[in-house]
Amino acid sequence: MISPATNESILEAARLLKSGGLVAFPTETVYGLGANALDARAVSQIFRTKDRPAFDPLIVHIPDFESLTIVSSDVSERVQRLTQAFWPGPLTIILPKAVCIPDLVTSGLPDVAVRMPAHPVALELIRSAGLPIAAPSANKFGKLSPTTAKHVQKQLPDLPLILDGGPCEVGLESTVVRIEKDGFRILRHGAITREMLLNHLEESKAYQTVDPLPAASPGLMKSHYSPEKRLYIVGDHALPEDKTQAAYIGFGSLEGQSGYKLYRQLSPSGDLAEAAVNLFQVLHELEEAELEYIVAEPVPETGLGLAVMDRLRKAAFRFHSQAENSSHLSDSSLK
Ligand code: TXA
Ligand code: MG
C-alpha cells in the first residue's frame, strides 16, 4: 500500500522494520526495499520478494557517519575522505564487513556495500528504526528500477507499506566504488563520477582508477534494468524498418526524426543530469504503452552519461544477439 511519507507513516515503517518486515522507501537515487540488515531472516524476505538470486549482495544504508564503524570492520582514512565529500549522497563504498552483518547480505563476500542516502525520508526512517537497513532497488530482479512509489507498486503490489516521497531526484542507482591499495574501481557508474572521485583522492599520485574485473561485483551483470518491450539503441543495433508502432527516446533536438508513433525526450536541452532523472521514468511509461518496440538515442559517454548508457545497454541487452551486443558492451560495462 502507498502511504505519503509523514511523521506517522515513517514511524509505522520503522516499527515494521524493527519487527523484521519489509518497507519500500524513497531515496535520492531510486526507491529501495528495506529490511533490518542485522536480521538474516528479514533480509531473506527481500530476496524472496524480488526473486533476486542469492549471489547478488545488498547495499546497507546508514543514517550517520558513526554507524559506519558498526557495519564495517575497517574504515581507512581514504574512505573517510570520500564519505566526508559525498555522504549523504549517491555513493556506495565497498568495505570489509563487520561480523554483525549476516553473510546473506553480502552473498558470502567478506565485504559489505555501504551508503548514506541523501533523502530526508530515508534518513528519518533509518534513524527511527535505529538499525542499518539493507535495501536493493524496489523492483523485481532484472527489471526497471523504480523512481516513484507507483513504479514500486506496479512490480511489488503486495508490499504492506510503500512510503511515498515523490519522484527521485537523481533517478539512477548510486555509484558503487571499491577502494584498493593501488587505486579505486568503479563497479557501477552513477551520479558520483570517476572525475569527482579522482578530485577527492588526487593528493595521492599513485591513486588512479583501475578497470574493474567483470567478477568484481555481481552488479556488473550485462543484462539488467530491463523493460518489458524490446529496446534498440541507435548506433548499437540494427533498427527495424517499420516505425509506426514504435517509440523514439531522444536526447537533445528531435530534428530529422519522423514516422514514430510516440516521441519522448530524456532532455530537450541535452543535459545529462536531466536525462538520468528521466530515463527510468520514460522506460516505465513506454513499457506500458501500446507499442511494439522502443528506440533510444545514445547520450555522450562522459560524466553522468556513462551511467545513463550503462543502464540503457543493460536494459537492451537481452533483446539482442551476442554478436550485436559484444560489439559495444565490452567497452562500456568495463569502464
Ligand atoms: O542507489 C542505490 O544504490 C539503490 C538505493 C535503494 O540505495 N540501491 C541499489 O541496490 O541500487 P541494488 O541491490 O539494486 O544494487 C546494489 C549493487 C549491485 O550491483 C550489487 O551487486 C552491488 O551493489 N554490491 C552490493 N554489495 C556488494 C559487495 N559486497 N561487493 C560488490 N558489489 C556489491
Ligand atoms: Mg537494482
Whole-angstrom CA distances from 308 to 114, 116, 174, 190, 319 are 22, 22, 12, 8, 18
pLDDT of residue 335: 35
**Which run of H or E residues covers position 208?**
strand 208-209
Q: How remote is the CA of residue 225 from the centroid of ligand 2, in Å?
A: 7
Q: Mean pLDDT for the chain? A: 91
Mutate to test the pocket of ligand 1, among 46, 217, 277 (most ligand atoms within 8 A of CB): 217
Cell 510516440, located at residue: 262
Pocket of ligand 1 contains residue 300 by CB under 6 Å = no
User: 293 has which bridge partners?
Assistant: 230, 246
Q: Are 252 and 271 in contact (CB under 8 A)?
A: no
Of residues 240 and 327, the one with the higher pLDDT is: 240
pLDDT of residue 332: 40
Q: How remote is the CA of residue 175 from the centroid of ligand 1, in Å?
A: 9
Q: How confident is the model at residue 248 (pLDDT cuts 50, 70, 90)?
A: very high
68: amino acid identity, one letter: L
pLDDT greater than 70 at residue 215: no
pLDDT greater than 60 at residue 72: yes
Q: Tell which atom from ligand 1 comes closest to the C-alpha of 106.
A: 29
- Nearest ligand to residue 188 Cα: 1
pLDDT of residue 210: 53
Pocket of ligand 1 contains residue 172 by CB under 6 Å = no
Q: How remote is the CA of residue 173 from the centroid of ligand 1, in Å?
A: 8
Q: Are 155 and 290 in contact (CB under 8 A)?
A: no
251-260 per-position pLDDT tens digit: 999 998 999 9
191 contacts: CB under 8 Å, gap ≥ 6: 29, 89, 90, 170, 172, 174, 175, 273, 276, 304, 307
**What pTM did the predictor assign?**
0.92
Q: How confident is the model at residue 206 (pLDDT cuts 50, 70, 90)?
A: very low
